[in-house]
A and B are shown apart, each in its own frame.
Chain A
Amino acid sequence: MSQNVLDDSRSVETTKKAIPKLIAVWIVTSLIGSLLVWFVLGPHLPPGTMTDQAAGAQFDIKFVSTLVPPVLFFIWIFFGYSLVKWRVRPGEDPLAPAADFRGNSKTQGAWYIITTVLVLFLAAFGTYFLVVPAGAGGGEGPNPIWTPNTKNMLQVQVIAQQWRFTYRWPQFGGMETTSIYLPVNTEIQFNVTSLDVIHDFWAYQLGVKADANPDVNNVAFTKTQQLGRFTVRCDELCGVWHGAMYNYGYVVSQAQFQQWATQMEAQNAAVTKLLPKYATTYTPSYAGNGGGYYPPQDPNANL
């Protein structure tokens, strides 16, 4: 039996010597990368800090992003080193055998354990930051299980239909508006529903996203903490004008909000009287002049 003789660059000794150097390069590059992500990129990461939930999402994105450089550099350094070091050299027989091993129980074991631990950690991390910030701004369906610690919430109903959003305010006489203003430093409960197909209420800067399903009330919570303008976009394909289904909202001071709301209430009084009673979901109707929508139990819905 002829022995498979390997040239020096592929011998166990040479590669063993290289490993500490590779690890050093990896640690340094990862450290630099992660620090840059945390301190330089971090504060600019989406979706900003306009609400508690947005700030939470920003923290999560920042945290996960800091884990990226170590993984990225690990793989890159490994591949880079192998490809440079063990590429066939001119004059070498390209078909000659290289090292003959089929596995390495220590490496494999370490790999399984490290990836598993990492993954379990990430799942725990995600769960914690889902539960603690009251559902992290995501739609929790009709019976939310992660709720803010207060009864004192501003209720905003978001009604989506092809192709616009309107808002109903049960605490302001059930009026319906086409614009949205929110008071700062306030817990907000969005009740999202649809009159036709599935839409999605995405208030980017608020860190809120909830599908608007017909006949379903999808609840999402957020707590405003900064003044400013936010974008509302429909984020679930809803037909031809889906791309144009957006508007802007504002987080304003509590006094300004009160002023806006009372003014709207007065201005809309006549219309509010014609609206169906406030409900969590509505059934659209095409009967009558221009159609309308009704609470599901409304007897007129069947006329």
Chain B
Amino acid sequence: MAIDYSKATGTGSSSGAPGGGGGGLLKPSIITGIIGGVIGWLLGHWIGNSFTQGYQQVQGSGSNDIAEFLGYFGMIIGWFAGLGALNYPIKKLFGVEPEAEEPVTEKGWGKYFRYTLDHKTVGVQYLFGMLIYFFTAGLLALAIRTELLSPTYHIWSPDTYIEIVGEHGTMMMMMMTSVVLGPFGNYVVPLMIGSKRVAFPRLEALSFWFTPISYFILLSGLWQGGFQSGWTGYAPLSVQQGVGQDTYILGFGLQGLSMVCASTNIVATIINYRAPGMSWSRLPVMGWSMLSLGFTMILSIPVLIDGLYVLGLDRTAQTSLLYSGHGGSSFLWENLFWFFGHPEVYLLAIPGFGLVAEIIPVFARKPIFAYKTSAAGFIGLAILSFFVWQHHLFQSGMNPDMRPLFMLTTELISIPTGFIYLVGMGTLWRARIRLTTPMLFMLGVYFNFLFGGLTGVYVSDVPINVTVHGSFFVMAHFHYTIMGGVIFAFFGAIYYWTPLVTGYQLSEKLGKIHFWTMIVFFNSTFLPLFAVGALGMPRRVFEYAHRLQFLNQWVSVSAYLLGASLLFFTVTFIWQIAVTRKPTVRNPWGSRSLEWFVESYPPPAYNFKRVPVVLSWPYEYGDPNALPVADIVNETKDLDPVGRA
């Protein structure tokens, strides 16, 4: 039995975290982190410059990749030292037993700017981090669309343009992979499984604090000449580039480390920290999706890091592993990259589906349909995602005889994807449906993903791929699956769990305005792009055929309106949690899931006074006589979650 009673019943004290005693500016926080980062960068950069001076390739080249790398290495170490993240491991290393501290109970806002070990604090940090990263990359997308208003008149220079495309894509891909795991996996899943804590709070905190610095490093590429290789970083182009490419390697690599830490923690937590009675067959589907996601991350991200390492060696130590002239091969990068890259796109799909399957039964008042099939769907997606990577390389010239095989494996993925539709549709059948804001977003995922999935059949069919590969058709396809899938689910989840996380209720009216504008403008932005691509417009270009101007302008205007919809969300969301602050009622959606039965919203430190005993399946919505989900339900059901007088 994988349930661990002993740890979960303790206070969960994790000793030695920074941020306890002391005070003033020197108390470790984001500020000391920045100071540490600056010092580290100066030191690293100086070392890099001084010991490479004598080399011909550096002299007079105007760029020194070694100094660039060492500067950032110094910055990373300084950042974590400044945050106080290294105190505990270093003390341990020297055999000093760090004093016990209770970081989890810190009151006030300060804790959100500190390296803290409370999974709920980390979840909130992630939520705001992710919103910032998403909006930054979203603004870059509008910059791209502005250029494409005209086929020939240019807003940006060609190099700036292609750098913006690369920054947008890389930022979105590396950050949005954590868009569900970070905020909701960390915050809600431990509550859902009845745990007082996560398995590895330090790994979890580390995973978050990787993100601001990787965000900064990636963006810093913009003022260092950028990288012109797009998010795919194909060699030898990426070897040819200036130091901006190093920010791609480091930014992406650090975010990869973040994902490895976060996924290790969530997997260990789900396996070991389930409350008594939370058997595998009662695990919420969100848990299944996080488990599948976690394993996929642990297995795929290291391949990315290896690839980036190889690329980094080619760029600094002048190895030529990716350059065929000296025995390497540019196919090596393509294989390594997509061996990571395809699982990556499923890292973006699985958590979205997890949210959908979790939230729909609440608003359908029915048990989830085919629970086991949904879990099988996530696992199937996770496994198959490792066997399809060459579908990105159908025209590359490698292994033509493998094409039918990769076409088959790719199309097989439609089967587990179909499971998710089956689950949703079965759950709606003879249901009692409430079209609340979160529910609308989840239904929106089904609507959008349908286009993404159906066009997936086109791109995976090799003869059709000849026409659509590398065109805006593919670009529309993956935006439908990602933006239309996980990003919609993410916003739905924000509306769903904000009452729990903040204690405040969000307005349904404003939420619905956000939903309807977002789905209309999203579709009006991306639907025409299928046509644009099929009519011959390649991705990543700043010039296109005159006859495509009308469609492109339509798309750009829609993209601005989509941006306006997201701005509307930002303003109303912040307004409602910072100014109007309407207190929520207990369990506002009438969910049966354990997270809503904590004593107060937000949940107290260590979540539950005692570990709950799980009594039934969380989806017994159809049976009025079903046992409550856990024994604590009756104890907390009359408590006012926000302590109103």
Contacts and interface: CB of A to CB of B under 8 A. Distances in A.
B542 interface: yes
Given A46-B467, A130-B404, A197-B234, A86 B540 contact: no
Contacts of A184: none
Contacts of A103: 369-371, 373, 426
Given A78-B425, A99-B430, A197-B236, A209 B395 contact: yes
B463 A126 contact: yes
Which of B407, B619, B623 gathers the greatest number of chain A CB atoms within 10 Å? B407
Interface stretch (A210-218, A251-259, A262-270): A210-218
A86 B432 contact: yes
Given A88-B433, A145-B400, A237-B229, A243 B541 contact: yes
Interface stretch (A29-37, A90-98, A170-178): A90-98
A198 B228 CA distance: 13
Interface string A121-151: 0110111011101011111111011100000
A228 B43 CA distance: 63
Given A61-B458, A209-B395, A214-B236, A111 B467 contact: no
B21 interface: no
Interface in A225-248: 231, 233-244, 246
A165 interface: no
B463 A47 contact: no
A86 B360 CA distance: 14
A152 interface: no
Interface string B509-527: 0000000000000000000
A67 B454 CA distance: 9
A4 B622 contact: yes
Given A68-B454, A119-B412, A98 B364 contact: yes
Contacts of A298: none
Contacts of A139: 395-397
B467 A196 contact: no
Contacts of B230: 237
Given A4-B622, A146-B400, A210-B395, A102 B543 contact: no
Contacts of A115: 414-415, 418
Interface residues of A, number: 102
Nearest to B400: A140
B234 A198 contact: yes
Interface in A36-86: 45-47, 53, 56-57, 60-61, 64, 67-68, 71-72, 75, 78-79, 82-83, 86
A186 interface: no
Contact of B463 (A136, A145, A216, A235): A136
Interface string B403-414: 110011001101
A297 to B, nearest CB: 13
A264 to B, nearest CB: 27
Contacts of B229: 237
- State which size class the interface on B falls in: 35 or more
B97 interface: no
Interface in A142-167: 142, 144-146
Contact of A216 (B324, B370, B458): B324
A141 B429 contact: no
Interface in B459-489: 460-467, 469-471
B467 A47 contact: yes
Nearest to A163: B158
B366 A100 contact: yes
Nearest to B531: A46
A233 B400 CA distance: 23
B190 interface: no
Contact of B237 (A75, A197, A241): A197
A46 B545 CA distance: 15
B277 interface: no
B325 A214 contact: yes
Given A119-B415, A122-B411, A136-B463, A213 B369 contact: no
Nearest to B366: A98
Contacts of A261: none
B232 interface: yes
A271 B425 CA distance: 68
A286 interface: no
A64 B464 contact: yes
Best-surrounded residue of B467, B539, B543 (most CB of chain A within 10 A): B467
B561 interface: no
Interface in B371-403: 371, 373, 394-401, 403
Top 5 nearest A-B pairs (CB, nearest first) are: A100-B622, A218-B397, A243-B541, A136-B463, A215-B324
22 contacts: A46-B535, A64-B458, A79-B446, A87-B435, A96-B432, A97-B622, A103-B370, A108-B422, A123-B407, A123-B408, A126-B407, A126-B411, A126-B461, A127-B407, A137-B463, A141-B400, A196-B236, A218-B397, A235-B469, A237-B232, A239-B240, A283-B325
Interface of A: 1-2, 4, 6, 10, 12, 15, 45-47, 53, 56-57, 60-61, 64, 67-68, 71-72, 75, 78-79, 82-83, 86-88, 92, 94-104, 107-108, 111-112, 115-116, 118-120, 122-123, 125-127, 129-131, 133, 135-142, 144-146, 192, 196-198, 200, 202, 204, 207-211, 213-218, 231, 233-244, 246, 283
Interface of B: 158-159, 161-162, 228-230, 232, 234, 236-237, 240, 323-325, 330-331, 364-371, 373, 394-401, 403-404, 407-408, 411-412, 414-415, 418, 421-422, 425-426, 428-435, 443, 446-447, 450, 454, 457-458, 460-467, 469-471, 534-536, 538-543, 545, 590, 619, 621-625
Given A87-B433, A119-B414, 20 more contacts: A64-B457, A64-B461, A72-B454, A82-B429, A86-B433, A87-B435, A96-B365, A97-B622, A103-B373, A116-B415, A125-B461, A126-B411, A126-B460, A136-B466, A138-B394, A138-B463, A141-B399, A204-B467, A210-B397, A240-B158
